[in-house]
Structure 1
């Protein structure tokens, strides 16, 4: 997956939604040593005048130099923190970040490679500040512009079918890697979540629906997928298995 960099807007217009915002931004990372320095540089520039924002990189047991690079960068960036965890999956990494987040207003997460441009935070933060409990970036609502390889298109069609059948959320896109929550809502949802792998997004949003939280979807522009490590059969099986677990957990009252 490859990022398309968008030009940064002027600080006065770009950071209005983030001004005086108490935000914890979580970046789950696994073997991102070749991309994390550039991502953090871009995030640092974007958040340069956003007071009260912290960035938490949760290293999910990387076997490359991801953690060491972040640790080094954090020495000169007071807004940056590192959490090192054993490899359990993206869901476990985000859950750990939410648990450790210090923000009192908002908690958000983005994929560490910034395949979803950092600028999406503008609309996500604004939506939550305007009354949403959870704001979800979406690749399937009007205004979204997405280019994906055939393998991901095939996997997405199948996964969306099973989400609708097993854990309906009324959302078009549960899996896009950019979401923002009211801080207390994030803590409530992730304290109840159990899935460690990629289906954690669907689980958290399903719990949000069960608990009556207000969810909104906002379009994502200019995402381009040119590389993928997805294994169509293996990863589809794992995701469907986890969706079945989510439905079973709900039937047993484990999300109450």
Structure 2
């Protein structure tokens, strides 16, 4: 009887510790996005006035075919590669579709270098009036930068891509094609995937360490209930405007794990999600610490799942 009592007491202690641990995760790891500073409601471009312009609103009617949002933190060295890639793509597409319109929104997320200046200089040299540079007063994180960019985008379709140019930008055509096929009632999300290249002929170049970490993270994500997506973290995702309206105003996460919240919100609101193979290569200069940020992402993901499961965060259908 004593052994049974001791066993029950041990189980009770373990359960109590688990409950306390989960409560601490929710209490201290739940994100609390800050409101925009007044200056963050404006962007710079190379118009005739050379004045700041007021940002748009995701709830307005679209004015361009495609919005491209680029979150950038201390990316003065790597950003030009992406800008050249986008510029080449736009020129090629306008040859095929003379009426194609777009906007390129660079979200400088509190950089300490010349990220904004590099973007504006590129726009000036190439005469790109569609480039809009937004400067955050304080760094939010990649997810926060993407969300803020999406909330002001004016495209019929809206996408975000990483500033390092790791993904071949012309792959956007495949995402758009697959999105239009899978779109339902104006809703669709097409996400680039680095995990099914063997079936598609696309090229993915990554270190063995990153490949192992991605496998481990994917397993963890699956355990926590986000299933059916091979590559949740690829920074190359496309949204119909209606889908973006249902997702981004509800976002909480501003750090690396924001991709998971996007997929959760898509699932909760029955938004079709299609994975599309993309060409990707690892680029030196990542701001991510493999050990520190992997632990941070694991805790953040647990906090996200707990908040939705406990009803602290709710999803109302405002379509």
TM-score (norm 1): 0.86
Once the two structures are superposed, residues 74-114 of structure 1 have per-residue CA deviations (whole angstroms, 9 ceiling, x without a partner) of 343111111111211000000000001011x1001111111
Does 1:192 pair with 2:243? no
Does 1:77 pair with 2:132? no
Give the drift of 1:32.
Answer: 1.0
Give the drift of 1:255.
Answer: 3.8
Give the drift of 1:127.
Answer: 1.5
Does 1:90 pair with 2:142? yes
Aligned-partner Cα distance in 2 for 1:57–1:167: 33
Aligned-partner Cα distance in 1 for 2:231–2:131: 29
The alpha-carbon distance between structure 1 residues 81 and 188, as it changes in their structure 2 partners (threshold 3 A), is same
Aligned-partner Cα distance in 2 for 1:251–1:130: 32
Aligned-partner Cα distance in 2 for 1:114–1:221: 11
Give the superposed CA RMSD. Answer: 1.9
The alpha-carbon distance between structure 1 residues 25 and 91, as it changes in their structure 2 partners (threshold 3 A), is same
The alpha-carbon distance between structure 1 residues 169 and 79, as it changes in their structure 2 partners (threshold 3 A), is farther
* Structure with the larger helix share: 2
Aligned-partner Cα distance in 1 for 2:222–2:112: 35
Tell me the equivalent position of 2:172: 121
Aligned 1:130-141 pairs, distance under 5 A = 130-132=181-183, 133-141=188-196
Tell me the equivalent position of 1:25: 68
Give the drift of 1:52.
Answer: 1.7
Q: Which runs of 5+ in 2 are unaligned?
A: 1-62
Does 1:241 pair with 2:292? no
The alpha-carbon distance between structure 1 residues 224 and 237, as it changes in their structure 2 partners (threshold 3 A), is closer
Give the drift of 1:185.
Answer: 0.8
Does 1:150 pair with 2:208? yes
Give the drift of 1:229.
Answer: 4.8
**Structure number, greater radius of gyration:** 2
Point out the more displaced range, 219-228 or 117-126. 219-228
Aligned 1:1-20 pairs, distance under 5 A = none
Secondary structure class of the residue paired with 1:82: strand
Aligned-partner Cα distance in 2 for 1:89–1:30: 8
Aligned-partner Cα distance in 1 for 2:284–2:148: 30
- Counterpart selection for 1:62 from 111, 114, 131: 111
Do the aligned partners of 1:109 and 1:180 also contact (CA within 8 Å) in 2?
A: yes
Point out the more displaced range, 55-64 or 90-99. 55-64
Once the two structures are superposed, residues 164-199 of structure 1 have per-residue CA deviations (whole angstroms, 9 ceiling, x without a partner) of 111414111110110101012112211111111111
Aligned-partner Cα distance in 2 for 1:116–1:209: 25
Give the drift of 1:226.
Answer: 5.5
Give the drift of 1:30.
Answer: 1.1
The alpha-carbon distance between structure 1 residues 188 and 207, as it changes in their structure 2 partners (threshold 3 A), is same
Tell me the equivalent position of 1:102: 154
The alpha-carbon distance between structure 1 residues 90 and 230, as it changes in their structure 2 partners (threshold 3 A), is closer
Secondary structure class of the residue paired with 1:157: helix
Do the aligned partners of 2:182 and 2:274 also contact (CA within 8 Å) in 1?
A: no
Do the aligned partners of 1:134 and 1:214 also contact (CA within 8 Å) in 2?
A: yes
Q: Which runs of 5+ in 1 are unaligned?
A: 1-19
